[in-house]
Amino acid sequence: MEESEIISGLTNAVVNGKKDQAVELAQQALAEGVDPYKAVIDGLAKGMEIMGDRYDKKQAFMPHLLMASNAMYGGMDVLTPHLKLEGGERRAVLVIGTAEGDVHDIGKNLVKTMMSAVGFEAIDLGKDVPINSFTEAAVEHKADVISVSTLMTSTMDNMEKIVKSFTEKGIRDKVKIIVGGAPITPDYADEIGADTSKPDAMEAAHWAKEIVKELPKDRWN
Ligand code: B1M
């Protein structure tokens, strides 16, 4: 099977909610030497994007979305262990989660996957994360980067509260904070005092990998 067929097959498996097919094609991608990044981003994630558009146009409904995400995770489970780690002596620590009130976690999980792939050790707080859990985890794990996602306008305010909680605890300068998700813009990130926002998981990971170099190594001592 050609690479392009495998990639489009992965997209279709997600769109059609076929987990077995996604798993099989992900295994085939590895066997045929397809870049696992490409298989995740151009294959599986593309399928979720298509389903998102269909949902917006009322051509797909909740059960279809859940089946699609189930298929996507099936493929990701196969591919994620093969995303090549990019070097560095100590693994930088990422604390990641979805803002309180928001249970959408597909994009957050993609960001986690890509961040792990560029070398981060990810502390995943999950979805609908209480505001103070971010600072608590940051202190406990001596975090470098905090990544917060939300897909709903109604939960954007909680991102601001998360950033404020770092200032209130006096640890804002110890971490870099990235916020993202469909309604989030770089201007919004600036307005709430976060360091940046990026439009997709890959860009977020590349930014994080570079920005950690600016953090003083002894700042948590
Ligand atoms: Co819901 N949902 N949903 N949903 N859902 C949206 C987000 C919505 C836009 C649909 C709509 O109305 N058009 C809408 C929000 C409206 C708004 O506020 N503007 C909405 C709503 C309203 C709801 C409910 C309230 C519906 C209800 O119950 N009445 C409810 C939420 C309950 C809650 O959270 N408390 C709900 C529930 C669900 C499901 C559970 C069915 C399911 C989520 C399953 C899951 O995540 N496990 C779901 C889904 C799937 C969607 C849509 C269709 C798709 C979202 C998705 O996964 N996209 C979405 C409509 C849409 O997007 N077209 C919709 C694919 C994913 C890969 O993209 O997460 O955007 P995304 O991530 C992207 C980028 O945003 C970026 O990187 C990724 C690409 O690489 N990114 C970051 C993400 N995080 C980042 C962080 C970064 C940087 C980049 O740095 C930190």
From 95, 104, 207, give the residue whose CB has the most ligand 1 atoms within 8 Å, as the site to mutate.
104
Asked whether residue 149 carries a pLDDT value surpassing 70, the answer given is yes
Q: How far does the centroid of ligand 1 lie from the alpha carbon of residue 175, in Å?
A: 26
Tell me if 197 sits within 8 A of 179, measured CB to CB. yes
Mutational pocket test of ligand 1: of 151, 176, 203, 207, the residue with most ligand atoms within 8 Å of the beta carbon: 151
Give the whole-angstrom CA distance, residue 43 versus residue 59.
21
Query: In the chain, what are the domains?
Result: 3-82 (1.10.1240.10), 87-214 (3.40.50.280)
Q: How far apart are CA 130 and CA 109, in angstroms?
A: 18
CA–CA gap between residue 198 and residue 205 (Å, rounded): 9
Element of type H or E holding 41 = none
What confidence category does residue 53 fall into, taking pLDDT thresholds of 50, 70 and 90? confident
Ligand 1, residue 152: give the atom nearest the CA: 18
How far is Cα 110 from Cα 221, in angstroms, rounded to an integer? Answer: 31
Which residues are registered as beta bridge partners of 122? 94
pLDDT at 87 over 80: no
Ligand 1 centroid, distance to 51 Cα (angstroms): 11
pLDDT digits (tens, 9 = 90+) for 162-187: 999 999 999 999 999 999 999 999 99
pTM of the model as a whole: 0.84
